[in-house]
Chains A and B, each alone.
Chain A
Amino acid sequence: MTALEFFLISILYFWASSTALSLGIGYYTIYRPVVSGFMTGLILGDPFLGMMTGAVVNIIYMNFVSTGGSFKGDQCLTAVVAAAAAVKLGVGPVEAASFAYPFGYLGILIWKYRLNINSIFVNKYEKDYENGKNPDISFYDGLYPQLLLYVMSSIIVGAAFLIMSVFDNIIMDYYENIKLFLFMAGMFLVSFSVINILSNLKNKYAYLSFEIFFLAVIIFDISSYWFFLAAAIILFVLSNKSIRIHNKRSNKNNNISNKDLMYSWFIWMNFSHSCYSYDRLQGLAFAHSMKNIFKKLYKDKDEVSRAIHSHAEFFNTEPNMGTPIHGYIISVEEQSSLNANHTDTAYIKKGMMGIAAGLGDSYTQVVLTPLFISLSVMMCLDGIYIAAFLPILYLAGSILFISYSGWMNGYYTGREYLMERINTVKNSKVKKHFLHIFSGILGVAAAKLILSGLEPSNTVYTLEAVALSAAAYWVIKRSKR
């Protein structure tokens, strides 16, 4: 590996795992193995092999949900290492995925300490504020934590590749001997993940959907283009096309322009998890997003600093679904600056943030992400790479639309918009039929993985790995009871 390759990969890993500086969609796109695998492959010279490997890793992490900074393993680092092993060492995708799996635990170190370390910036900001220094929130929420994160990410990537280089020779010399072991371990992980997902769905029609699509593909080897087309049509029919973005000004007194609103949304989307800490979670990010608004509302520097600081307390919500809160708070702050009376926004924020988080996590992370990512994975495992980007682009677009429309509508129509949003999500037909569509896609993906370039001699081993994982799952479930 050259120094340039290392540098680019460390930037990639930093960018993907920071979830910042990517307009809020990095977490749904570049952080996902199918995309980070592609990008690693691009850097190392074989993008589609990287993407295929990433797709295998992605199945292992398909049921991944993060709520309030809780994490299992780092899927992005696993994908980076797996793609590098596949491209540089010529290891097969399944073998690469199992080889890279333990590295996921190296990756969570960052998440574990990041929430602790970021408290440094929170404390420094508080101290500067108390000393009347009018601290610039963009440094404490943006620049400093991101710089530190870059250093941490490159150390982790460095460590991962150092460990990998130790294994390089062993793998190259004995690959033929351990190939079977890695292959079976990879199939075991994939199969374990699929069994886990299906059993958590707890829906017999979802099992049926999985079985039907899985068997249909195994027996008839149908191209995944057909399933992609069918899913696209079904999702289009089910999707809600009535959501509008309000941006008509009714009140001539407004100081805040649409451009100001857009800019503060832009800051929020880029930095919502930038200084994620145990004490405040997204508190500093909320304050950061209000900076340009208060600069517009108040002329006095101390007053601007005080107003920003008043929004730096503990805040946590689902960053896209929760944006009506921000829009609404901006309108409240604008009114209180005009009437020169102070409204207690802390109480409103706290009440709304939990609700938006519960609503948001159960939709963006639990429904939209697995739906579109699994579509992409399915295409990759069938060797269709370019079209595999379509679901990812669509997912990114949906996330942006959800967050932007919430921001604007929260400002223009008030806190009632959160109520409207709750009802929209509750009545979502995509959500209602999610289980059946998703398990069907998963069935196709699993079948495609088994069919994709596996030599017939591997069939028995695949069956053995699947049987082993089923047995392991059963044992673990029983021991937990």
Chain B
Amino acid sequence: MKNIVLARIDDRLLHGQVVVSWIPNVKANEVVIVDNEYADDEFMSELIKNASPENIKVNLFDVAGAADYLKGEDDGSRILILSRYIENINELINLNVEIKCVNVGGLGNVKGRERYLNSIHLSSRELEILKDISKKNIAVEIKMLPNDKTVSVE
């Protein structure tokens, strides 16, 4: 099993807050993006890989591919998982990928979602999934930036 330092759920995937704040904060050197749609779209996957920050390896997989990859041998890299959907992270956990901490930040207000905290919006179903995850002894933290106050879901 590879060393997963954090799994972040964020609409914007690899964007400013992640590049400037989170990657240095958790000392990650590899990013795994879990996204079924983008993994299927040639332009988007090339774009995402091209945009990888310096010295950071970026991989893009669908959920099944990501589970296979993450269960591979630990090569010493520190992995930050990014996904737009809580469901994807939940599926990874159900596929026995070892995730210790789930961070929720930056989920837009789409139909069915309610504002939870600042720019973080969650549907009741998504909140249920987060609660289930936290019952498995996985830390679920809702915060935009590393130094923000942590709101835990229990």
Chain B's nearest CB lies how many Å from the CB of A335? 16
Which residue of B is nearest A279, CB measured? B109
CB pair B16–A360 under 8 Å, yes or no, is yes
30 A-B pairs with C-beta separation under 8 A:
A67-B16, A67-B17, A67-B21, A67-B145, A68-B17, A68-B144, A70-B144, A70-B145, A115-B118, A279-B108, A279-B109, A281-B119, A313-B110, A314-B108, A314-B109, A314-B110, A347-B37, A350-B84, A351-B38, A351-B41, A351-B44, A354-B14, A358-B16, A358-B19, A358-B53, A361-B20, A415-B43, A422-B47, A423-B50, A426-B50
Chain A's nearest CB lies how many Å from the CB of B60? 11
Chain B's nearest CB lies how many Å from the CB of A15? 25
Chain B's nearest CB lies how many Å from the CB of A114? 12
Q: Tell me the count of chain A residues lying within 8 A, CB to CB, of chain B.
A: 35
Question: How far is it, in angstroms, between the C-alpha of A338 and the C-alpha of B16 when the chains are bound?
Answer: 36
A134 on the B face (CB < 8 A): no
CB pair B14–A419 under 8 Å, yes or no, is no
Within 8 A of A (CB), among B1-41: 10-21, 37-38, 41
Within 8 A of B (CB), among A273-301: 278-281
A264 on the B face (CB < 8 A): no
Known: A351-B48, A359-B51; 15 extra A-B contacts, CB below 8 A, are A67-B145, A70-B145, A278-B118, A281-B119, A314-B109, A314-B110, A347-B37, A351-B41, A351-B44, A352-B47, A355-B14, A355-B47, A358-B14, A358-B18, A361-B19
Which residue of A is nearest B148, CB measured? A70
Which residue of A is nearest B106, CB measured? A68
Contacts of B110 in A (CB 8 A): 313-314
Instruction: Choose among B47, B53, B144, B148 the residue that contacts A351 (Cβ–Cβ < 8 A).
Output: B47
A22 on the B face (CB < 8 A): no
B115 on the A face (CB < 8 A): yes
B46 on the A face (CB < 8 A): yes
Within 8 A of A (CB), among B78-111: 84, 106, 108-110
Q: Tell me the count of chain B residues lying within 8 A, CB to CB, of chain A.
A: 36
* CB-CB nearest 5 A-B residue pairs: A314-B108, A354-B12, A361-B16, A354-B15, A67-B16
Contacts of B17 in A (CB 8 A): 67-68, 70
Question: How far is it, in angstroms, between the C-alpha of A360 and the C-alpha of B51 when the chains are bound?
Answer: 11
Within 8 A of B (CB), among A179-197: none
Chain A's nearest CB lies how many Å from the CB of B99? 21
Instruction: Choose among B11, B38, B51, B109 the residue that contacts A422 (Cβ–Cβ < 8 A).
Output: B51
Contacts of A69 in B (CB 8 A): 119
Chain A's nearest CB lies how many Å from the CB of B79? 17
Contacts of B46 in A (CB 8 A): 419
Contacts of A426 in B (CB 8 A): 50, 54
CB pair A279–B16 under 8 Å, yes or no, is no
A235 on the B face (CB < 8 A): no
Interface readout for A410-429 with B: 1 if CB under 8 Å, 0 if not?
A: 00000100110011001000
Contacts of B14 in A (CB 8 A): 354-355, 358
Contacts of B145 in A (CB 8 A): 67, 70
A108 on the B face (CB < 8 A): no
Which residue of B is nearest A116, CB measured? B118
Question: How far is it, in angstroms, between the C-alpha of A441 and the C-alpha of B121 when the chains are bound?
Answer: 43
